[in-house]
Structure 1
Amino acid sequence: MSHARAHFQRASAAKASALVGDDSPVNCSAYELMLVKLAEDRRQLKLVHSMERKAEVKRAVLPDYLPWVEGALQADSGRPDDVVTTVMMWSIDAGRFDTALDIAEYVLRHNLPLPDKFTRTPATAIADQIAIAAKIARDGKQSFDARILVYTHELTKGHDIPDAARAKLHKETGLLMAETDPVAALEHLRRAQQLYDSVGVKKDIERIERAIKNSAPPPSGGQA
């Protein structure tokens, strides 16, 4: 994308977000053009069956949308915008977590709805998908940045999320922290079990409790 095109998208998003009507979605020709592109990319994604390949496609097309998203976030109007919310979800799928959470802060602060095709609330969808991404990394013995999980907790705190979804986020956070901060890990895992007993962390809790106990220094003693 050329610098001129990117500038046009940022300016168009800011202008669309500044239109009169606080509760109405953005509505201008530039926005409609973005929706047309979004629909075409969705059609292309439907032709792809591999989830790994879908993530690759999303990584490839996301830069085309970022100038629009930047303009919308800078305007900070809080208007419903299917482009912004879809890019947020696609960024998670594509592993672009910093981008996704930057958008999520805006979406959650303004309580923006997700497009109709999504059945979950934004907060639930964000917590769910971030936890799933962390689990996929854990199952594949790949690294995952703990700060992504911590920030997801902060962003979704206070939002109404099903207990099972919140528990999964606590579980992945606890398991990721188990080696570096076992005390904090234990807190997350206990909270996960409290929220959803079937989340499957009982053995992990016992394992970390033993590790903490075994690493404690022996009691000091000696003769006076």
Structure 2
Amino acid sequence: MSTPAQRHRDKHRAMQAAEHAAATGQAVGDLAHSLHLQLLALEQDQQRLKALDRIADKVTLKRELLPKYRPYVEQYLAGEKTHQNPLFATLVVWLFDLGEFEQALDWAEVAIAQGQHTPTRMKRDFPHFVADTVLEWAEQQAAEGQAVEPYFSRVFAHVAKDWRLNEKLTAKYFKFAGLLLLRDALGEPRPSAVSDPDVLEQADTLLVKAHEWDPVGAQVKTHRSRIAMRLRALEQD
């Protein structure tokens, strides 16, 4: 067991090497090969984050810290051996917090394939964390009439095929995908704004799947009724 003096020395070495990596973009020395030392440096920075009250301040600090740890994660990903890597897992979460979705999803897909655990403070596994995060973002974007692609469809493809999410979250994805096809320029799901019967039928199929996954909570009956009304109106034109 290490002594307090050794632990202090290790933390000092870890922080020095981390600062070098942040400045040069290269992980060198002991820290480049020691997950233990990497995590010692991360532990100190996690304490700095914990001391901040405002989410905006936490985001700012994470953005400053990311270059410090990115070289170690990139070196790990370039290697042939895989193992549980808490630093990698933490940076995946940080990337989502920072809104860097493309990099976040690239790394999250690797983390899921490797069976990486989410950081200890999180109760969700990576598929549920990623799906929750992207759906919450997509709902806000769509409500404001903003684009949700390519990130929503990228995650939805996993939800529909290979991520075993709970029924409620799976239903939410199918419902959102269906309503997305119906949204007008203002972001409102409005079947009357859609003139293509194929699009309406595709939306209805997705809503049916949402109901199948969560018959009580999906609440798609009204939307499906409006789609049916719009289809009848188009047939009469």
The bucket for the TM-score relative to the shorter chain is 0.7 to 0.9
1:107 equivalent among 89, 92, 111: 111
- Displacement of 1:87: 1.3
Q: Is the 8 A contact 1:123 1:159 kept in 2?
A: yes
How has the CA–CA distance of structure 1 residues 7 and 195 changed in structure 2, closer, same or farther, with 3 Å as cutoff?
same
Matched-pair contact (CA < 8 Å) for 2:207–2:224? yes
Which one is further off, 91-100 or 170-179? 170-179
Alpha-carbon distance in structure 1 between the residues aligned to 2:204 and 2:111: 31
Partner Cα distance (2:108, 2:210) in 1: 23
Alignment correspondent of 1:195: 213
Deviation at 1:125, TM superposition (A): 1.5
Report if aligned partners of 1:108, 1:155 keep a CA contact under 8 Å in 2: no
Q: Which amino acid aligns with 1:206?
A: S
Question: Partner of 1:192: helix, strand, or coil?
Answer: helix
Find the counterpart in structure 2 of residue 145 from structure 1.
148
Q: What TM-score comes out, normalization by structure 1 length?
A: 0.72
Structure 1: unaligned runs, 5 residues or longer: 17-27, 219-224
CA deviation after TM superposition for structure 1 residue 113, in Å: 1.5
Stretches of structure 2 that go unaligned for 5 or more consecutive residues are 1-19, 185-198
| Matches of 1:102 and 1:72, distance apart in 2 | 14
Distance change (3 Å), C-alpha of 1:165 and 1:6: same
Listed one character per residue, the Cα deviations across residues 175-210 of structure 1 (whole Å, up to 9, x for unaligned) are 333348544443333322221231343333333444
- Alignment correspondent of 1:173: 177
Distance 1:144 1:90, change over 3 A: farther
Q: Percent identity?
A: 23
When residues 87 and 207 of structure 1 are mapped into structure 2, their CA distance, relative to the original with a 3 A threshold, is: farther
- Aligned residue pairs total 201
Rg: which structure is higher?
2
Q: Is the alpha carbon distance of 1:40 and 1:171 closer, same or farther for their aligned partners in structure 2, counting shifts above 3 Å?
A: farther
- Which whole-Å deviations, capped at 9, do the CAs of 1:143-201 have from their partners, x for residues lacking one? 24232122113334333321112222333333333348544443333322221231343
